[in-house]
Structure 1
Amino acid sequence: MTPDLDALFAALDATWPAASMVEAGAWRVREGAGGGSRVSSATTADEEADLSEMEAAQAALGQTPLVRLRGEQARLEARLEAAGYVSKDPTNIRLAPVERLAAGALPPVRVFAVEFPPLTIQREMWAEGGIGPERVAVMERAKGPKTALLGRANDTPAGTAFVALDGDIAMLHALEVRSVMRRQGAAVNMMRGAARWAQDHGARWMTVLVTQQNAAANALYERLEMDLVGHYLYRQGQARQEAR
């Protein structure tokens, strides 16, 4: 059975975990510890949830109010917009059977699965793409099967990515290909390698999250026949001002 959005969002929390989670009324608020929006956002299934409870919890964590909205949460989004929350990073959710991705051609010695901790060269490539130690710490927190992929092109390290499993769902994060190594097939090879690693570890599905403005990445995933199955976005408010 194809995973539904509930299962995919659960996989997101499992494979890219927050430092901690706080329940605040109807809200689940994540502590990101500098790891970015995915691990610093608040979510709720209640479109009438009290915004002040979420804002207080975010403030207690030292974070700016940030809400992640699923595509169908129009009422909650309207409330946030009316409260001055601005839209940020609309993101596509793409999904494909692992078997389909793994079946493509993969030249030898192009992709290697590295056990944690990642190699220094992988950390350097992530850093080049703006993925610093705080995001690597997110990867380190993931509890299930996981790997740091190393891609090569022309006998040179070309890219890196993180893949982790939640049940039979594999989620790929932080795919980074060096700018001088692009258009040489490294990204496609890494996706094939990710699928084969996931298949070897019992996964049936591969999913990725990609911002809608990233035209190159969306074109890559379309070429790999990864179906667009949903989307989400963030609404960001203003940090609370401390009373003097």
Structure 2
Amino acid sequence: MAIAELLRTRGLSPKKGFGQNFLVDVDAARRIAEAATTTEGGAVIEIGAGLGALTRPLLDRATHVVAIERDRDLVPILREQLAGPIEEGRLTLLEADAAQVDWVGALSGHARPHAVAGNLPYHITGRLLEQATTVAHQIDRAVFMVQLEVADRLVAAPGSADYGALSVFVQAAFDVRRLLIARAGAFYPRPEVDSAVVVLTPWRPRRAEETDAFRAAVRAAFSARRKTLRNAWKNLYGWSSQELERHAKDAGISLDARGETLSVEAFARIAAARGR
């Protein structure tokens, strides 16, 4: 039964407050499931199970799926339609806000590799990406559907127009590649923008540790993109202009450059100087 029809039969409609745009592209769901389970088996957390469009292909490949759904009206439908995998112990269904769930705890005790996958609601995409970077060392992969504009920022290289603080924070933890573009017609209801799927593979070790000093350097550098680092960092760590010049030189960074030209490692080097 089509999603629109299924919702109508239950007296439901998509909730804008939850950012509900249900994936209806079967091929896209299959490719996301394959990317999340590059070798069949393992356990996957699904963020926003919706009506099970991605849950089903994940169950075809993973040993165990932990499906998180916040909408209490959808959870009974999922329990009904996926009763078999639940009874078999292959599917755990959680009614919860994915941003409040302990992903690592939910995956513990299940076979590896451990992955996180899902169509991220626009209004909490940043929070969920931050959560992913926090647990990057404890998972094996993340596969997310995000707005195309966000995907462009996630994969952007230094010096490009899309490269910014989000690029640095995520790329410090993950190797990021774009898997596919999903046009608006791949969803119900049809959103106003296109989306893309990104595959995040953790660096081992991370390219940079996200310390307070690292975050401060990145945020200051991108607070005004047209400023040179000399101006953007003039209050960084309470350093005098002479100290900033010395530490930047030691880190191999030109203060005449702009923040969007710096690599993740360059930000890590200036952050490391904070303790010296």
Instruction: Note whether the superposition's TM-score is higher than 0.5.
Output: no
TM-score, reference length from structure 1: 0.29
Structure number with higher relative contact order (C-alpha < 8 Å, ≥ 6 residues apart): 1
Structure of larger gyration radius: 2
More helix by share: 2
Structure with the higher fraction of residues in strand conformation: 1
TM-score of the aligned structures, taking structure 2 as reference length = 0.26
